[in-house]
Structure 1
Amino acid sequence: MSHTAHIPSHRKPRRSASKTALRAGVAGGMLSTIAVAGAAGPAQAEPVTQTIEMPTITAGLSTSVAASAQATQAVALDLETRAAEDAAATTAAKTAKKAKAEAVRKAEAEKKAKAAAEAEKKAKAAAERASRSAERTTLSASTGSSGSSGSSTASASVSSSSATGSAASVVSFAQSQVGDAYVSGGTGPNSWDCSGLVQAAFRTVGVDLPRVSQDQSTAGTQVSLDNLQPGDILYWGGAGSAYHVGIYVGGGQFVGAQNSSTGVVQKSLDYDPPSGAVRVL
């Protein structure tokens, strides 16, 4: 018998390789199962099985997806609303800008038209005054050779009878305006042009004369300056092309709205000898 002592080994007995099986299910809410089996020592141990419940990842998925879809739809709707509001604001701004530009254009056009009308009116008045001056110069030159004695004879030859009836009313109205201002285009009550005064005087007796001198110079029967009667219309220039009118008031006198310097005056025919006369009454 050997004296060699039997020394037990300190080495741990080998374990057989552990066997692990993992079986997991994550679809449709299935339970996941983990099985672990192991054997220790020389003997084969019974496999140990343990069941672990894993959380499902689809339980609230449909709700989250629905909420996300609603949020996306809300954002899209908000963006669409903002786009519509921006488009409407842009359209309104363009419309307002266009309307403002049109209003400015219209105002400028009206301003220019008014200025043009005013300039035309002034030019017409200046031309009328110039024409009157030229005609008066011509008439004065043509009658100057006759001398003052000729003028006195002509004045004495006209009728000096007092006005009666409608003629008296016309004469009275004209004389009551003496001292009023002369304004081109004026028709009263305190400022007149020559034809405006004549027209207003005859209107007092129900006679509606044309408005302008040219037409008034042919409104009645042509009469000689040697046979004037109170209420006759005197004109300067040609019949149908007269540039000035007045009213004969008798006694070799006439009343007329002469010009802006003199206004409405009563003067002798020698002051401004007329070219002709018409009788309406």
Structure 2
Amino acid sequence: MSHTAHIRSHRKPRRSTPKISVRAGVAGGVLSTLAVAGAAGAANAAEPVTQTVELPTLTADLATQVAQSADATQQAAANYELQAERDSAAAKAAKQAKSDLADAKKKAEATKKAEAARRAAAERAASRSAERTTLSASASASTGTSTSTSTSTSTATGSAAAVIAFVKAQIGDAYVSGGTGPNSWDCSGLVQAAFKQVGVSLPRVSQDQSTAGTQVSLSNLQPGDILYWGGAGSAYHVGVYVGDGMFVGAQNPSTGVVEKPLSYDPPTGAVRVL
């Protein structure tokens, strides 16, 4: 048997309870910490979070750029408006030009038809005149008398001379339908203006001028007589007899005012107003 068998050990016995208590205290502290942290988190979650965003400072350069952009936008708008106005004006001008062209075509067509009708009437009148000449020649041959048209060579005086001087002064002027001078005439416009110089007021148109005075025979013409082509009251052309078998008249657009012999376009009749 060992000599130390009855000697008591110097080691102190373990104390289990305090260690358990410490451990329990640590655990409790940890749980308390967790509880506090959880409560703080819950409180933070309940409160709204406000975030502040700092805007860039409006510097002088940026302000200038903004102003320039606004000016550019305003100028662009003004340019668009101006262009729209120009387009509208151009459209109106084109429409008006189209309308004017249509009117001009209508007037040209009407003038063409009127000229064609006048020429046709002149041809019919010439044909009738030729027939009358043929019939007169036949009658003269059968009766032995002369029916030639008188071509007075007497010198015009007084008012007749003034009328003749006026119409001769217009020789070479243009023929224009409806023309009343001073540089363009139609047939009745020229005759009316000539007699106005001596205080005689004549109607404006050929039909009325052909009955304005006393009807005279073509074989007894005197300078200053008014010649007409067509029927009395329905004449389509007039002129002035100037003596020596000649007359002056505004004939047509191709000849204008001319002096021609009676044989150039034999008249139908004549009237005397002086």
- TM-score by shorter chain over 0.5: yes
Higher strand share: 1
Structure 1 counterpart of 2:105: 115
Q: Post-superposition shift, 1:24?
A: 5.4
Report Cα offsets for 1:133-178 as digits up to 9, x if no partner: 221122112212434996974333x655432222211111112233
**1:136 equivalent in alignment to 2:126:** yes
Q: Post-superposition shift, 1:90?
A: 9.2
Q: Contact 2:250 / 2:257 at 8 angstroms: preserved in 1?
A: yes
Structure 2 counterpart of 1:222: 215
Please, what is the CA RMSD of the aligned residues?
4.4
Q: Distance in 2 between matches of 1:96 and 1:230?
A: 64
Aligned to 2:250, the other structure's residue is in SS state strand
Letter in 1 for 2:121: S
Which stretch shifts more, 130-139 or 189-198? 189-198
Structure 2 counterpart of 1:164: 157
Aligned residues, how many?
231
Letter in 1 for 2:164: V
Question: Structure 2 vs 1, CA of residues 122 and 57 (structure 1 numbering), >3 Å: closer, same or farther?
Answer: same
Q: Post-superposition shift, 1:220?
A: 3.0
Q: Distance in 1 between matches of 2:235 and 2:241?
A: 16
Listed as ranges, the matches of 1:181-192 within 5 Å are 181-192=174-185
Q: Post-superposition shift, 1:190?
A: 4.3
Q: Distance in 1 between matches of 2:116 and 2:82?
A: 50
Q: Which has the higher contact order (CA 8 A, sep 6+)?
A: 2
Q: Unaligned stretches of 5+ in structure 1?
A: 33-54, 65-85
**1:106 equivalent in alignment to 2:120:** no
Q: Of residues 215, 232, 241 in structure 2, which corresponds to 1:239? A: 232
Q: Contact 1:26 / 1:56 at 8 angstroms: preserved in 2?
A: no
Q: Post-superposition shift, 1:115?
A: 1.2
Letter in 2 for 1:258: Q
User: TM-score, length-normalised on structure 2?
Assistant: 0.64
Q: Post-superposition shift, 1:113?
A: 0.8
Q: Of residues 3, 8, 31 in structure 2, which corresponds to 1:3? A: 8
User: TM-score, length-normalised on structure 1?
Assistant: 0.63
Letter in 2 for 1:273: P
Question: Structure 2 vs 1, CA of residues 237 and 57 (structure 1 numbering), >3 Å: closer, same or farther?
Answer: same
**1:155 equivalent in alignment to 2:160:** no
Q: Post-superposition shift, 1:121?
A: 0.9
Higher helix share: 2
Q: Distance in 1 between matches of 2:253 and 2:119?
A: 9
Q: Distance in 2 between matches of 1:258 and 1:176?
A: 15
Q: Unaligned stretches of 5+ in structure 2?
A: 1-5, 55-75
Q: Distance in 2 between matches of 1:223 and 1:8?
A: 181
Q: Contact 1:223 / 1:278 at 8 angstroms: preserved in 2?
A: yes
Q: Contact 1:125 / 1:184 at 8 angstroms: preserved in 2?
A: no
Q: Contact 2:207 / 2:234 at 8 angstroms: preserved in 1?
A: yes
